Every structure is written in structure tokens, then in C-alpha cells.
Structure 1
Amino acid sequence: MANEQLADELNTEGTITVCISKNAYPPMYWKENGQLTGFDVVSMEAIAEQLGLGLQFMEVAFDGLMPGIVSGRCDMMRSGLYVSEARTNVADAIPYLRTGPALLVMSGNPAGITSTDDLSGKTVAAQSASANAEILGELSESFETAGQDSISIALYPELPETVAAVQNHRADAVIETDVAAASVADSLSGRMEVIGGLFDSDTMFGMYFPQGSLLKDAIETVVIELTEDGTLEEIAVQFGLMPENIASVEEIQG
């Protein structure tokens, strides 16, 4: 009965529809010879295989990811979004990888940013509807409360636009996940650099599901199995991620 109910829940019979952002980045996911690959993709392939289900990825705009879950357009979403209270108020989540914010600046760090205090009075680009934008907003409010200059937060729909803002001198830095920031810096061959260690790194990337989803329960069970048998750590190593950053069973179960 449970399997029948799960099948009825899926948008496409026998197939999990996973929403991802249109702007892919290694090592999480990217296109190689026209095919998606990366840690998120190969991990989901292993999960779907265990469930005996097919898998299809739907690319949507970053700010359309959570609406896609809430509306039920996506069976699930896995696209480098932090697990946050605001998101878990409207959707269910499974944490799967430890991460945290980092800053991306032009090579040589011309704005001289070495601590979060240095962001007072600076312009920082962020993706709209992102948890990183919320982090900046809270930090900016703390500056104002202390009588310091606030942060000018420049919001853009997608990651490439935030990077372009710094390259075109419209912003001093980009705030992004440490994984994405490192990927961008690597792709630009030294023209930009990552400043890490300024923010807490105890956040998690999460897979999101419509509230009450049977798929969430089924995938959580499989993720625990693949965590315990080391499969997810092996996939992490395959794509250059630190295996110790894979969420523990205790973290998955909350």
C-alpha cells in the first residue's frame, strides 16, 4: 500500500522529478557532454536505484526552487540550498552535506575584507531568495544597532550575475556557499579568490520535499543506508568533497 501511495504521489509515474537551479556548478552538479553529473546527481542516481524508481532533473530559476516544492511541481529539490527555519516552515527537508557561507572577491582582495566587521559600509552581492542574503541582512542590522554603516546588499536572480557585479565593480564581494565560491574561483583561473572562515560553517545543504511527502520518508531511509555503508562518502571523494562533511545519521534524523 505504501509503495502504491508513493507511486501516486509522484508527478510522473515511476520517476522522481528533482528540481535544480539552472546555474549548475562543480562539484555538486554540472553538464558534461550534455549530460548532468556531479555529487548531487550521482548520489540521487544511487538513491533512485535503491528505490527502484527512475530519475529526471528539472532546471528552474533559483528563486523558483522553493515555490516549485510548495506548489508540488517538483517531487523534491536538491540544489545547494541551506536547511533553514524559514524553508522548513513550508517544506520538509533532509540534511545531507555540511557547508557554510564564504565570500568571493577579486584577486588580491582589493577591499581588504578580513573579517565580517569589514563588511560595514561595503556592497555585497547575493542571490535573491537565498539564506545567504538573510545572513547579510542580519549582519547589516547588527551594524546599524551598533551605530556602524550598514551593508549595501545587491540582490541578483542567479549566481553568474552576482559574480559579474564584483567583476564590474558594482559590488565589493559575493556571499555564496563555500562549495560554489570555490568552484567559481577555480573556473576563473586566479582572477577571483575565496575568503573563508568568516561565517559559521555548521549549516547544511538539504533536500526539500512538499510537506508530508511519502517520498521524503522513503529517501531518508535510503540515505541512512547509503551513509552507514559508506556509499555517499565514496561518491563525495569521487567529486573532490571531504567525506567527513557528509551528514551523520543523527543529523539526518534531526
Structure 2
Amino acid sequence: MSFRTISLASVLLVSTAASAFAQTCTPKIADSELVKPGTLTMSTNPTLPPLQFVDSTGELKGMRVELGREIAKRLCLTPDYIRIEFSAMIPGLQAGRWDMINTGIFFTAERAAMMQMIPYEDQAISVSVATSNTAVKDKDGLDGLRVGVEIGGFEETKTRALDAELKAAGKKGLTIQTFDNFALAYQALRAGQVEGVVSIDGVAKEYDTRGDFRRAVSGLYPAPVAVAFKSTTLADAVSGVLKEMKADGSLGKLFDSYGMPMVTSDYSVKGPGR
């Protein structure tokens, strides 16, 4: 049998399997609740390895990416990711550009007043420095540093809080430089344009493990990370999926494979009217 014949047979087999799945798996979310019929459209900022990133082949990968695809699968929807800067996430959700923010958005009461949120992951803030910088070992050691951080997120808020804490203690504080995303911030650190980058524990740990940067300080300002929605119906459905995944062990297995901490809460939705 020729290669062409084998390839055609494979295509037909895949096509048949996809058709069978479409016939047996009915979407659990009405099209009226979705940006695109039969599709779970998710926004992500893929600059945070190992949670969400683009590999050398251009493929979107990471723990949160896998989680989003599994959620879509269990809802009988086709997953679709839109890569966008974090600063556009909430406005885009409110404008109906995507169904779900799946970029590791930190949960806050202020955000939960604007949209439906499901805390699912525990994270905290870390500060990365150059591997040659062995002087910074604690929060006080950060005093006087020029640090980079992604604009508009929880990390920037807490970086400014840390600056205020240091100054309140009679110290110099931080010189803060904001970037459109964390990839640019880490590039600036590599180039010596900043002396540190404030990101989340999981990302700083990954860069430390690779030997790219040293995680000098970690565990600052611990808080839950969430997925977010405009549709209450979709949020409730995803909440159900996460509870199901926790019960069958698949959620714990995914988190363990990346060494990430799960929340201790019950994956209930928090938001307006809750």
C-alpha cells in the first residue's frame, strides 16, 4: 500500500472518529452563552512557562492550557485559544470577545464584583534575579532594586505594595518598570536593563530550575488564581467540571505533574449575585 493510500485512510479514520464524537457528544452549553457556537473561546497570555507558553514549534502548551482543553472536552465543546496581553483580558471578556479568561488571573474581591470567578490554583509572588546575583536573599534585600513586572495585574499591584512597605520602613524602595508581558520583563533582566522581575512562584521556579535566573525571594502575598467568565451559566458548568475532575483524581494528577498547588476550596463560583 502506498504512503498516499495510508495517509488517506488515516484521514478518513480521523474524520469518521470526529464525526462519531460530534454525533454522540452534545454540547452542554447553549450557543447563546458562547462567543462562537460549539466552541469554548479562551484568552491566554502565553509568556508564563510552565503554566502557559509557546514551545519551539509554535505550539501552545502548559498546565493551564491542558486544563482548558480538558474542560472544553468535558463540556463537548471545541477549545479555541486567543493569545492576548493581560491588560486586555477583562475588557475583552466584558466586550464578549472570549468566553473564559484562562491565564491565571489572581482572585480579588474587586474582580469578583465585575465577573464570575472560580479560584482553582494557589500561587504567590516571587522575585527573580540574575544567577550571578547572590546578595538578594529576602524581602529587605530587594531594597533599591530596579524591578520589572507585567503591567495591570496582581503582580504589579503587589510590587507597588512592596515598594510602599520598604519606604514605610525608612528604606529606598523599588524602582518599578512595567512591561506588556512577562516575556519582555525577563528579556530586560537578561539584558541587564532591570535587576529583578516580579512574577508568580511557579514561573520563577521554572526559570530557576532551568538555570536562567535565580529565584531570590518567593512566597510573597499568597492568593488564589482563578478562571473568569461573563456568563453565569458557563461559569456554573465549568465549576461542575472542576469538581468532577477533583473527584475522579484527574485534576490532582495534572497539578502534580507540574508541581503546582491546588486550592483547598470547593471550586464554587464567586461573582456578582453570588
Per the normalisation by structure 2, the TM-score is 0.80
Instruction: Provide the C-alpha distance between the structure 1 equivalents of 2:162 and 2:83, rounded to a whole number of angstroms.
Output: 31
Q: Write the letter of the residue equivalent to 1:194.
A: R
Which of these residues, 176, 189, 192, is aligned with residue 166 of structure 1? 189
Which of these residues, 198, 207, 210, is aligned with residue 227 of structure 2? 207
| CA spacing shift, 1:251–1:225, aligned 2, 3 Å | closer
Instruction: Provide the C-alpha distance between the structure 1 equivalents of 2:100 and 2:64, rounded to a whole number of angstroms.
Output: 13
Superposed, 1:1-254 pairs within 5 Å as 6-31=30-55, 33-110=57-134, 112-186=135-209, 189-201=210-222, 203-210=223-230, 212-238=231-257, 240-242=258-260, 245-250=261-266, 252=268
| CA spacing shift, 1:252–1:142, aligned 2, 3 Å | same
| CA spacing shift, 1:86–1:195, aligned 2, 3 Å | farther
Instruction: Provide the C-alpha distance between the structure 2 equivalents of 1:219 and 1:191, rounded to a whole number of angstroms.
Output: 36
Q: Write the letter of the residue equivalent to 2:218.
A: G
User: Structure 1: any 5+ residue segments left out of the alignment?
Assistant: none
- Give the paired residue count: 244
Quick check: 1:227–1:248 contact (8 Å CA) kept in 2? no
Compute the displacement of 1:162 (Å). 0.9
Quick check: 2:145–2:195 contact (8 Å CA) kept in 1? yes
Q: Write the letter of the residue equivalent to 1:180.
A: V
Deviation larger for 11-20 or 68-77: 68-77
Quick check: 2:48–2:203 contact (8 Å CA) kept in 1? no
Q: Write the letter of the residue equivalent to 1:233.
A: G
Compute the displacement of 1:17 (Å). 0.3
Per the normalisation by structure 1, the TM-score is 0.86
